[in-house]
Amino acid sequence: MIRKATLSDVLSIAALEKQTFSEPLSESFLYDEIALNPFAYYVVYEENHEIIGYMGLRAVDEHAEVMNFAVSEAHRNMGVGSAILEHALEYLKKNHVSLLTLEVRKSNKGAQALYEKYGFRKSHIRKEYYINEDAVVYVKEVRK
């Protein structure tokens, strides 16, 4: 089940961040995003009362950016990421967002394949965006 994230999800999201990323978002950052940022929209994918995936977006006017997107390793390649991404794209369409951007590690071929499957296109490279690794910037026009 995909639902909007709540403050009670922060610890679970932070744990998923730590399992997934070498530079995870902190609990305080996640708390501020969910509780205080009017431009933020965070969703979780919950299965059997466990958060197995999530995505955070920031949408300002007609532009949005993915802050972070993670699926637990045990649940990858099972459609969880696709379901979260489809949910996010529908949300953005309903809110009249026309362009979505994100960065992904150059080495993360699995994520890149997912984004390309959904019509994202490579825009450019951000050198050393991550510690010792470039980021590929993807963009997608969100159809209304």
Give the active site residues: 103, 115
- Report the alpha-carbon distance of residue 131 to residue 3 in Å, rounded: 32
HSE-up (13 A, CA, CB side) for residue 53: 22
Contact 90, 55 (CB under 8 A): no
Report yes or no: 103 and 126 within 8 Å, Cβ to Cβ: yes
3-state secondary structure of 136: strand
